[in-house]
C-alpha cells in the first residue's frame, strides 16, 4: 500500500506540471495569432505573413495533439491511481483487522521512534497508552507505563525500570520477559524494520510460566524423594537444619542411632532439640553440635550415645544452615580391637616361625655346605674318572697295539690251520677290546666336555658315500642288501661326530639283522634333513626305546656277535652336544629305524681331502728303510716283526738321540714312523722336525693313542699324517705304500688323521 500511495503522488505532480505547460502554450499561441493579425507588410508583404501564419498553425496543431495525448495518458494514470487507492485502503483495512485480531500485543514505531500503530491487546497490557496523543514517542510510552506501575520492576523503582526499558528498546536485540504486578508474565520481542523503525510483539506467557513452575516443582519433589530414599539407605545418620535452625531433612539411620521412635522426629525438630536429645543420651562435649555460620571449619568428635560409640561430624552450609552426620563405629572399634589382637598374635607366631626358619635356614646352609663339598668331590671324582679313563685307555692301547702288531706279524707267517685259527680268533678278540676301549674313551671325553663340535657346511654324499664303501664288505659277508643312495644335499654339523653317529646306526643294523636289507633314507622336512637307517631285523619293543641308549644296556638278541652296549650311549651324547634330534621307530619282528635330524644348508665349496687319503695303493710294497721311534720296546719289536715281513728294513729307536746315533746319513730312511708321546716330555712330531732338519724333507707319520682335538690340530698344522693306536695293519700298509710309492706329502692345515 505504501508503494501505491507514492505512485499516486508522483502522477499528481506530473499532471500539474503538464497543465501549467499547456496553459503556457495556449498563451504563446494567442500572442502569435494576435501579432499576425496586427502586423503590417513592412518586412515581406502579405504573402510572407501568410506563410508565417501557416507555420504557426501547423506548430499549434502538433502541440495540441501532443497535449491531447498527454491528457489521455493522464486520464489513464488517474484511473490506475484510483484503483491503487482502493487496493491500498483495502490492504490497510485487512492489516488493521489482522493486527486487531491478534491475541498478542502489537506496536509499530517509526524511525523517529514514534508510535504509529498498536492493537487493542497492546492497549490492554498498557491502558495508559490510550490517553497519549497520536505518534507519541516511545520514551513517553515508557514513562506512562512506569507511572502506572504495571510491572514489578516499575513498582520497585519506576525511574530505573524506565531507563532499562528505553535502553532495551533502543537496542531491539530480541526477547525479554517482564513480570506484571497482576501476576502475569509478559514476553516482549522487539525487531528493527527496514526503514529504521521498531516492531514489538507482546505475548502473555503466564500459563507457560505456571507449567514450567509446576514441572520444576515436580522435579524438585522427585529429587527430594530420591534424595530421601538415598539418605535412608545410608547406615550413617544424617540431618540438615535451615537458617531458622529448623529440621529440613533427616534419614532413617538417624532414628536408629539416636534411638528415636519410628517416624517421630519432634525431639530433634530444631537444632536445640537435637543438642538436648544427644546430651540426654550421654554426649559429654556438645561443642561438636554448636551452630556456626558458613563458611566454617568442619568438626569431628567421637562420643558415646547410650551403649554405642558414635562419630559425630558437623559442617556449616550455605546460605546459613548446618549439616550433621552420626556414624555408629561400635562394631568397627570392636573389629579393630580384634584385628589388633589378631595382629599381635600373628606377630608372635611370625616371630616364632622366623626363629624356626632361621634355625631351618642355618641347617639348610649347613646341608648346602655339605652338598657343595659333595658336589666338589663328585666333580673332582668325575675329573679323576675322566683322567683315569683317558690314562687307562692310553696305557691299555699301548700293549694292545703291540699285541695287534705281533698278531699281524704271526698272520703273515706260514702256520698250521689250527694255529692260524687261533691267531684269527686272537685278532677278533683284540678288535672287540679295541672297540670297547674306543667307546669308553669317547664317552669319557664327551662327559668331560673335552670334545667341542666343529660345525661346518659339507656335502652329505661325501659322508654317506664313505659309509657305503666302509660297510659294503660287512653287509656282503652277512648276506644283506645295503642301500645307501646319493642325495645331493648339504648339511650343517660336525663331520666327524655325525659320521660316528651314522656308523653306530649302520653297525647295529648290520649286527642285528639276519636276513633282508639295511637301507639309508634321506628326506628334507622344512629346514632339516632327516637321515634314517632302516633294517629288517627282529625289531625292538617300544618299552625298551629309552633303555637302549644307556651304557652297557643290551636287550636280548639272537645268536651272533653282540654289541658292547656303548654305541647308542655315544650317539645320545654326541647328538645332545650337536643339538640334533634322534628318533627311534620299531616294531618287533618287522625291523627298526634310527634317525637323526640335521640342519639343512646351502651348497658350498667341497673341502679337499689329502690325496694320500684317497690315493690308490700299489699292489706291492715299495720296500726301503723305515725308522721307528717309540718309547715302548714291545711296540718296537712288534713293528720290526711286522714291517720286516712286509719286506722293509726296519731301524728302531726309543728317542731322538738314539735315532741320531744310528748313523742315519749313511743309512738314510725312506720313511719315519714316530709315537707322539715319548719319554721325558719329548714328542714325535718334534723328533720328525729335528730329523728332517738333519736329513732333508722325509715322509713321516705319527702314531698315538691320544685322540684329542689338540693333537689332531697340531699335526694337521704341520702336515703330518696320524694313525690311532691300536694300529690296523691293513690301514698302515696302505698308507706306507702310498707315501713311499708315490712320494706323498700332506698339505699343512689339512686334517689327515686316520679313523
- Higher-confidence residue of 615 and 436: namely 436
Task: Read off φ and ψ for residue 675, nearest 5 degrees.
Answer: -75, 145
Which letter, b or e, does each residue of 635-647 get, where b requires 16 or more Cβ atoms within 10 Å of its Cβ? bbbbbbbbbeebe
pLDDT-derived band of residue 47, with 50, 70 and 90 as boundaries?
low
Q: What is the pLDDT of residue 433?
A: 60
* 194-227 tens-digit pLDDT: 888 898 889 988 888 888 888 888 887 777 777 7
**Looking at the predicted structure, is the pLDDT value of residue 1 above 50?**
no
CA dist 539 and 508 (Å) reads: 12
Q: How far is CA 624 from the centre of its chain?
A: 78
- Higher-confidence residue of 440 and 579: namely 579
* The three three-digit cell numbers of residue 726, written as one number: 691300536
**Looking at the predicted structure, is the pLDDT value of residue 755 above 90?**
no
Q: What is the pLDDT of residue 617?
A: 37
> Which helix H or strand E contains 597, and what residues bound it?
strand 591-601
Q: What is the pLDDT of residue 612?
A: 36
Cβ-proximal residues to 596 (8 Å cutoff; 6+ apart), any chain: 498, 501, 502, 505, 530, 531, 571, 575, 580, 581, 582, 583
Peptide bond before residue 700 is cis, with ω within 30 degrees of 0: no
CA dist 162 and 172 (Å) reads: 15
Cβ-proximal residues to 390 (8 Å cutoff; 6+ apart), any chain: 441, 444, 445
Looking at the DSSP bridge assignments, the partners of residue 459 are 490
- Average pLDDT, integer, range 524-528: 86
Q: Are 312 and 301 in contact (CB under 8 A)?
A: yes
* 257-266 tens-digit pLDDT: 888 888 788 8
CA distances from 326 to 192, 232, 318, 622 (A): 62, 13, 20, 121
CA dist 739 and 744 (Å) reads: 5
Q: What is the pLDDT of residue 324?
A: 92
> Which helix H or strand E contains 585, and what residues bound it?
strand 581-587
Using only C-alpha atoms, the chain has a radius of gyration, in whole angstroms, of 67
**Looking at the predicted structure, is the pLDDT value of residue 650 above 60?**
yes
Q: What is the pLDDT of residue 412?
A: 64
**Looking at the predicted structure, is the pLDDT value of residue 17 above 50?**
yes
**Confidence (pTM):** 0.36
Does residue 205 sit in helix, strand or coil?
coil
Terminal alpha carbon distance of the chain: 130
The chain-wide mean pLDDT, for the chain, equals 79
Strands laid side by side in the 198-204 sheet: 115-118, 105-109, 198-204, 185-192, 174-179
Sign of CA dihedral 416, 422, 425, 427: negative
- Higher-confidence residue of 741 and 248: namely 248
pLDDT-derived band of residue 451, with 50, 70 and 90 as boundaries?
low
pLDDT-derived band of residue 613, with 50, 70 and 90 as boundaries?
very low
**Looking at the predicted structure, is the pLDDT value of residue 619 above 50?**
no
**Looking at the predicted structure, is the pLDDT value of residue 43 above 80?**
no
* 476-520 tens-digit pLDDT: 888 898 998 888 899 999 887 888 888 888 888 888 888 888 999
CA dist 635 and 725 (Å) reads: 11
CA distances from 593 to 310, 460, 479, 542 (A): 85, 19, 20, 12
pLDDT-derived band of residue 85, with 50, 70 and 90 as boundaries?
confident
- Average pLDDT, integer, range 579-593: 85
Q: Percentage of the chain surpassing pLDDT 90?
A: 6
Cβ-proximal residues to 467 (8 Å cutoff; 6+ apart), any chain: 484, 499, 502, 503, 506, 520
Percent of the chain as helix, strand, coil, to the nearest 5: 55, 20, 25
| Helices 633-645 + 330-411 axis angle, to 10 | 50
Q: What is the pLDDT of residue 672?
A: 93
CA distances from 427 to 336, 408, 564, 728 (A): 92, 8, 17, 11
pLDDT-derived band of residue 439, with 50, 70 and 90 as boundaries?
low
CA dist 249 and 187 (Å) reads: 37
- Average pLDDT, integer, range 607-633: 59
Q: What is the pLDDT of residue 425?
A: 62
Q: What is the pLDDT of residue 393?
A: 57
Sign of CA dihedral 403, 406, 412, 418: negative
Which letter, b or e, does each residue of 401-429 get, where b requires 16 or more Cβ atoms within 10 Å of its Cβ? bbbbbbbbbbbeeeeeeeeeeebeebbee
Residue carrying C-alpha cell 660316528: 500
* 712-737 tens-digit pLDDT: 888 888 888 988 877 777 778 888 88
Q: What is the pLDDT of residue 616?
A: 37
> Which helix H or strand E contains 739, and what residues bound it?
helix 729-741
Q: What is the pLDDT of residue 598?
A: 92
Pick the closest to residue 446 from 385, 496, 492, 386 (CA basis). Answer: 386
Looking at the DSSP bridge assignments, the partners of residue 641 are none
Q: How buried is residue 684: exposed, middle or buried, by Cβ count under 10 Å (0-12/13-18/19+)?
A: buried
* Beta strand residue intervals within 244-399, DSSP E: 247-250, 299-305, 308-317, 321-328
Q: Are 151 and 128 in contact (CB under 8 A)?
A: no
Q: Are 143 and 114 in contact (CB under 8 A)?
A: no
* 556-570 tens-digit pLDDT: 444 444 444 445 777
Which letter, b or e, does each residue of 137-147 get, where b requires 16 or more Cβ atoms within 10 Å of its Cβ? ebebbbbbbbe
Task: Read off φ and ψ for residue 646, nearest 5 degrees.
Answer: -85, 0
**Looking at the predicted structure, is the pLDDT value of residue 100 above 80?**
no
Nearest 10 degrees: CA dihedral of 483, 485, 491, 493? 20
DSSP 8-state symbol, 131: G
Cβ-proximal residues to 569 (8 Å cutoff; 6+ apart), any chain: 439, 443, 549, 550, 551
Q: What is the pLDDT of residue 606?
A: 47
* Helix count and strand count (H, E) for the chain: 20, 23
- Higher-confidence residue of 550 and 61: namely 61
Q: Compute how many other C-beta atoms are within 10 angstroms of the C-beta atom of residue 440.
A: 19
Q: What is the pLDDT of residue 70?
A: 79
Does residue 491 sit in helix, strand or coil?
strand
* The three three-digit cell numbers of residue 449, written as one number: 666336555
CA angle, corner 445, sides to 441 and 449, nearest 5? 170
Cβ-proximal residues to 525 (8 Å cutoff; 6+ apart), any chain: 597
Nearest 10 degrees: CA dihedral of 577, 583, 586, 592? -60
Does residue 712 sit in helix, strand or coil?
helix
Q: Are 247 and 239 in contact (CB under 8 A)?
A: yes
Q: Are 674 and 702 in contact (CB under 8 A)?
A: yes
Q: Are 126 and 141 in contact (CB under 8 A)?
A: yes
* 299-309 tens-digit pLDDT: 888 888 888 89
Q: Are 567 and 621 in contact (CB under 8 A)?
A: no
* 137-194 tens-digit pLDDT: 988 888 888 888 888 888 888 889 888 888 888 888 878 888 888 888 889 999 888 8
Amino acid at each position: 500500500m505504501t508503494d501505491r500511495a507514492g505512485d499516486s503522488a508522483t502522477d499528481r505532480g506530473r499532471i500539474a506540471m503538464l497543465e501549467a505547460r499547456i496553459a503556457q502554450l495556449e498563451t504563446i499561441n494567442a500572442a502569435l495569432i494576435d501579432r499576425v493579425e496586427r502586423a503590417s507588410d513592412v518586412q515581406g508583404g502579405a504573402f510572407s505573413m501568410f506563410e508565417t501564419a501557416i507555420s504557426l498553425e501547423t506548430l499549434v496543431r502538433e502541440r495540441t495533439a501532443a497535449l491531447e495525448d498527454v491528457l489521455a495518458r493522464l486520464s489513464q494514470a488517474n484511473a490506475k491511481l484510483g484503483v491503487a487507492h482502493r487496493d491500498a485502503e483495502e490492504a490497510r483495512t485487512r492489516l488493521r483487522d489482522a493486527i486487531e485480531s491478534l491475541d498478542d500485543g502489537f506496536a509499530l514505531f517509526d524511525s523517529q521512534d514514534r508510535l504509529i500503530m498498536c492493537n487493542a491487546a497492546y492497549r490492554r497490557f498498557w491502558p495508559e497508552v490510550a490517553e497519549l496523543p497520536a505518534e507519541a514517542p516511545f520514551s513517553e510510552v515508557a514513562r506512562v507505563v512506569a507511572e502506572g506501575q504495571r510491572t514489578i520492576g516499575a513498582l520497585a523503582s519506576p525511574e530505573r525500570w524506565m531507563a532499562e526499558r528505553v535502553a532495551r528498546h533502543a537496542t531491539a536485540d530480541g526477547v525479554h520477559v517482564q513480570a506484571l504486578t497482576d501476576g502475569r508474565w509478559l514476553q516482549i520481542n522487539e525487531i528493527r524494520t527496514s526503514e529504521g523503525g521498531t516492531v514489538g510483539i507482546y505475548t502473555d506467557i503466564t500459563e507457560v510460566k505456571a507449567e514450567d513452575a509446576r514441572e520444576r516443582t515436580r522435579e524438585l519433589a522427585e529429587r527430594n524423594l530420591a534424595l530421601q530414599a538415598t539418605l535412608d539407605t545410608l547406615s550413617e545418620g544424617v540431618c540438615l537444619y535451615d537458617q531458622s535452625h529448623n529440621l529440613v531433612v533427616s534419614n532413617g539411620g538417624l532414628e536408629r542411632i539416636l534411638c528415636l521412635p519410628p517416624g517421630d522426629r519432634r525431639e530433634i525438630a530444631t537444632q536445640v532439640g537435637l543438642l538436648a536429645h544427644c546430651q540426654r543420651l550421654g554426649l559429654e562435649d556438645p561443642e561438636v553440635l554448636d551452630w556456626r555460620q558458613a563458611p566454617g571449619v568442619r568438626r569431628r568428635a567421637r562420643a558415646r550415645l547410650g551403649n554405642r560409640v558414635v562419630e559425630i561430624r558437623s559442617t556449616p552450609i550455605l546460605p546459613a544452615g548446618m549439616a550433621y552426620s552420626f556414624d555408629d563405629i561400635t562394631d568397627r572399634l570392636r573389629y579393630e580391637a580384634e584385628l589388633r589382637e589378631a595382629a599381635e598374635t600373628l606377630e608372635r607366631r611370625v616371630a616364632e616361625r622366623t626363629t624356626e626358619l632361621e634355625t631351618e635356614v642355618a641347617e639348610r646352609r649347613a646341608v648346602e655346605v655339605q652338598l657343595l663339598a659333595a658336589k666338589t668331590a663328585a666333580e673332582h671324582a668325575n675329573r679323576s674318572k675322566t683322567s683315569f679313563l683317558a690314562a687307562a685307555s692310553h696305557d691299555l692301547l699301548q700293549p694292545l697295539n703291540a699285541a695287534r702288531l705281533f698278531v699281524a706279524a704271526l698272520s703273515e707267517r706260514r702256520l698250521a690251520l689250527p694255529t692260524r685259527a687261533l691267531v684269527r680268533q686272537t685278532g677278533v678278540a683284540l678288535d672287540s677290546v679295541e672297540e670297547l676301549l674306543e667307546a669308553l674313551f669317547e664317552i669319557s671325553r664327551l662327559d668331560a666336555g673335552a670334545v667341542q663340535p666343529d660345525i661346518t657346511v659339507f656335502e652329505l654324499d661325501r659322508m654317506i658315500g664313505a659309509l657305503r664303501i666302509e660297510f659294503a664288505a660287512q653287509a656282503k659277508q652277512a648276506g644283506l642288501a645295503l642301500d645307501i643312495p646319493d642325495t645331493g644335499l648339504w648339511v650343517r654339523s660336525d663331520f666327524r661326530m655325525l659320521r660316528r653317529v651314522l656308523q653306530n646306526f649302520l653297525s647295529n643294523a648290520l649286527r642285528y639283522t639276519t636276513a633282508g636289507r639295511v637301507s639309508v633314507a634321506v628326506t628334507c622336512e622344512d629346514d632339516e634333513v632327516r637321515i634314517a637307517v632302516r633294517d629288517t631285523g627282529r625289531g625292538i619293543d617300544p618299552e625298551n626305546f629309552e633303555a637302549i641308549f644307556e651304557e652297557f644296556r643290551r636287550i636280548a638278541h639272537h645268536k651272533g656277535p653282540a654289541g658292547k652296549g656303548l654305541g647308542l650311549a655315544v650317539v645320545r651324547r654326541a647328538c645332545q652336544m650337536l643339538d640334533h634330534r634322534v628318533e627311534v621307530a620299531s616294531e618287533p619282528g618287522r625291523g627298526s629305524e634310527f634317525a637323526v635330524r640335521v640342519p639343512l644348508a646351502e651348497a658350498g665349496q667341497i673341502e679337499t681331502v689329502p690325496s694320500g687319503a684317497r690315493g690308490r695303493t700299489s699292489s706291492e710294497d715299495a720296500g726301503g728303510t723305515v725308522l721307528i721311534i717309540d718309547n715302548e720296546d714291545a711296540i718296537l719289536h712288534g713293528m720290526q716283526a711286522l714291517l720286516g715281513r712286509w719286506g722293509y728294513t726296519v731301524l728302531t729307536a726309543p728317542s731322538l738321540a738314539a735315532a741320531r746315533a744310528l748313523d742315519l746319513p749313511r743309512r738314510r730312511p725312506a720313511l719315519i714312523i714316530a709315537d707322539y708321546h715319548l719319554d721325558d716330555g719329548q714328542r714325535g712330531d718334534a723328533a720328525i722336525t729335528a730329523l728332517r732338519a738333519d736329513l732333508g724333507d722325509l715322509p713321516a707319520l705319527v702314531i698315538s693313542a691320544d685322540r684329542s682335538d689338540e693333537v689332531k690340530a697340531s699335526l694337521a698344522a704341520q702336515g703330518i699324517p696320524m694313525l690311532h693306536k691300536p694300529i690296523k695293519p691293513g690301514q698302515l700298509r696302505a698308507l706306507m705304500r702310498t707315501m713311499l710309492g708315490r712320494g706323498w706329502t700332506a698339505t699343512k692345515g689339512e686334517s689327515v688323521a686316520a679313523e
